[in-house]
Amino acid sequence: MHAKPWLSRIPALALAIAALTPALGAAQTSDKIRVGMTVSSTGSFALASQSGVRGVELWVDDVNRRGGIEVKGKKYPVELVKLDDRSDKQMVTRVYERLIVDEKVDLVFAPFGSTLTAAAATVTERLGKYMMVWSAASDDLYKQGFKNMVSGTQMPVSAMLRANMELAAKQGVKKVALLYSDEPFPAGLAEGGKEQAVKNGMEVVLFEKYPKGQKDFSTILQKARAAGAEALVPTSYEGDLISMTRQMKQLDINFPYVFMVYASTPQFQAIGADSNYIYSHTNYHPAINWKVNAGMTREQFATAYDQRFPKAEFPPDFQTALAYGAGALTEEIVKQAGSTDAAALKKASLDLSGKLTVMAGPYAIDETGKQLLMPFPVVQLLPGKGMVPVWPADVATQKPVYPAPDWNKR
């Protein structure tokens, strides 16, 4: 995606510093808590990064409206220090060093995505600062021995299809076909989906890669049908998934259960009635309301977003929700730690594991800081209803329609 024109006007290394926001050192001797992060003004991560920072800004506003984060009986306002990374991992290392050494922030939020987060982590580890992750999905990130990094809200790619596979098994699916484009993210999703399918007692009857850019999926779809698959789970991007759906209809190829990771996007749903009965996932939806004990509820968040960003080009999305949730968790972690010392914050992060639920879902991590919960609830696209949450039971508003009716019966 390309950055919007207004993003290019953001100064190179200084996306404003502030939001009536604050800084406290390990010994709590200052009157504010300074939180640093980078935002992408340009480049491939610009739109997602800007969506996320709006979530952090909402958290900062909410904290400061309440007087700040309470640490040992005293409230410290939060100051948000933002610098531009231009979606460039080389620049990320320089600006995170600047945040820590020159701006003297107390802790940092990660940049958008695994690539930039990995670069930032080399700096935060070297300089001994705690980093809260809100978007990096790479499992490898948590195998590198980073001690001061915690994924507050982003589950790893290996676990993203867990809820989907649980639901498929619960519906009675026994055989699954996984198809994926020869690209890192789709391949990682497929590998994780395969593992989750087996864990849920299902047989993976087809696990097939196809070349990036392929347009004709008739052979691979027929192969999945011939293998006896009851569930079709392609882990590719929107364009491929739209083509697959249309070709299934043209060839009258039917599967009782079809899950497509990007079917929850407006771009996919624009195909109309052909999207009906397909499953997808999201963690930001008007009907998905976890019972939170940290931060705002989804309804409160939606109201705050409209008030804070009345002219925003984009509505909040799952990235905004993940970033806000990471902020709400950070508040509880700082309170628990009674300090902004990196080791104390990591210990508090582990102590609170399994005890907090934010708007984006329940929080739990392992010793590496990898997120264990924060599921993407499963939705199903239904005639006349659009996206309807169907799993897990905590947020489902109705039972899924299974099996999906054949094309000639719709």
- Domains contained in the chain, CATH given: 33-156+288-363 (3.40.50.2300), 158-286+377-409 (3.40.50.2300)
**Beta carbons of 330 and 340 less than 8 angstroms apart:** no
pLDDT for the residue numbered 19: 37
In contact, 181 and 162? CB cutoff 8 Å: no
Quote the pLDDT of residue 16.
40
Residue 238's pLDDT is: 83
Alpha-carbon dihedral of residues 71, 72, 75, 76, nearest 10 degrees? Answer: -50
DSSP string, 185-198: HHHHHHHHHHHHHH
Q: If you search the block for the tokens 């958008």, which residue do you land on?
A: 112
Q: Which of 359, 374, 357 is nearest to 301 (CA)?
A: 359
Position 213 scores a pLDDT of 87
pLDDT in tens, the chain (410 residues): 343 333 333 444 444 433 333 334 443 447 999 999 999 999 888 888 999 999 999 999 999 999 999 999 999 999 999 999 999 999 999 999 999 999 999 999 999 988 899 999 999 999 999 999 999 988 989 999 999 999 999 999 999 999 999 999 999 999 999 999 988 778 889 999 999 999 999 999 999 999 988 999 999 999 999 999 999 999 988 889 999 999 999 999 999 999 999 898 877 888 999 999 999 998 888 888 999 999 999 999 999 999 999 988 778 888 899 999 999 999 999 999 999 999 999 999 999 999 999 999 999 999 999 999 988 899 999 999 999 999 999 889 999 999 999 999 99
Beta bridge partners of 23: 33
Q: How far apart are CA 305 and CA 121, in angstroms?
A: 30
pLDDT of residue 312: 83
CA distance 225 to 405: 16
Do residues 55 and 323 make contact, with C-beta atoms less than 8 angstroms apart?
A: yes
